[in-house]
A = this chain, B = another copy of it.
Amino acid sequence: MADLPERTASDHNEEIMHATYRALCEHGYADLTIKRIAAEYGKSTAAIHYHYDTKEDLLAAYLDYLLDRFVATIKDIETTDPEARLELLLDKLLVKPNEYPDLVVSMLEMGAQAPYKQSFRERFQQHDEYVRYTLKAVINHGIDEGVFGDVDATHAARTLMTIIDGARTRAVVLDDTEAFPTARRMADEYISTIRAVEESTDS
C-alpha cells in the first residue's frame, strides 16, 4: 500500500483524512468503521466524533479532501498550449490512479454507493463537472487556436471522461493491467480524430 502523495499534514483534519485513507486501504469501504479509522489515527473514536457525527459525514469530507487535492494538481499545470495541456491533464487523470490502486478501489466502492448516499453523489457530480469543464475549456482553446477542428467540445469532454471512468472500473473490477494503457491509447486516438485537418499544400 502506497501512502498518499505528501502535501502538508499539519492539522488534525489532515491527520484524520490520512487515517481514513489508510483504513480504507486496509479494510476496504465495506468493512470500514469509525473504530478502525480511530485506530489508524491513534486516538479514540470520540476524537473522531468530535469532528464528524457519522461515518457518512467523515467519508463525505474525505471525498471533498481527495477531490480538492486533485483540483490542486490540475492547477499546478502551467502550460497554456492546448495540446500540451490536454496531454498533461490526461496524464493526471490516467496515470496517477494507477500508482494508487487502493485509492482507485475505494473510490469505486464509494461511487457504487452514490445511488444510496446523496452526499457521495453530489461530490462525485461536482468533481466530474469540474473536470469536464476543464477539459472542455482546453479543447475550446485548441479550437480557437486552430489546433483542433470545429468539434463539439462538450461531447469531446464527455468522451474523455467515459474513457477514464471505463479504465478505472476495469482496473478495479477485472484487475486488468491493460486498462490504463488501453485508455491512454484510446484518448490519443480520439485526439487525433479531433485534430484540425492539415492543409495538403505548404503555407
Q: How far is the CA of A115 from the CA of B193 in the complex (A)?
A: 35
* B167-A169 in contact (CB<8A): no
A166–B182 Cα distance when bound, in Å, is 13
Contact B30 A174 (CB under 8 A): no
Chain A contact residue count (CB 8 A cutoff): 42
- Which of A82-90, A103-111, A133-141 lines the interface with chain B? A103-111
Which residues does chain B contribute within 8 Å of A164, judged by CB atoms? 166
Point out the residue from B114, B115, B125, B169 that lies within 8 Å of A165, measured CB to CB: B169
Residues of B within 8 A of A185 (CB): 155
Interface readout for A6-35 with B: 1 if CB under 8 Å, 0 if not?
000000000000000000000011100000
- Interchain CB contact under 8 A, A113 and B158: no
- Given the complex of chains A and B, what is the CA–CA distance between A179 and B162 in angstroms? 8
Residues of B within 8 A of A158 (CB): 178, 182
Q: Mark A91-130, 1 if CB is under 8 A from B, else 0.
A: 0000000000000010011011111100001001100100
Do the beta carbons of A173 and B114 come within 8 Å of each other? Answer: yes
Query: Distance (Å) between the CB of A188 and the closest chain B CB?
Result: 12
Q: List B contacts of A115 (CB < 8 A).
A: 28, 105, 172, 175
Contact A168 B170, beta carbon cutoff 8 Å? no
Q: Which of A148-203 contact B (CB under 8 A)?
A: 155, 158-159, 161-170, 172-176, 178-179, 182-183, 185-186, 189, 193
A166 touches B162 (CB 8 A): yes
Instruction: List, sorted by A's number, 10 A–B pairs whose CB atoms are closer than 8 Å.
Output: A30-B30, A108-B111, A109-B112, A125-B174, A128-B170, A155-B182, A155-B185, A159-B189, A162-B179, A162-B186
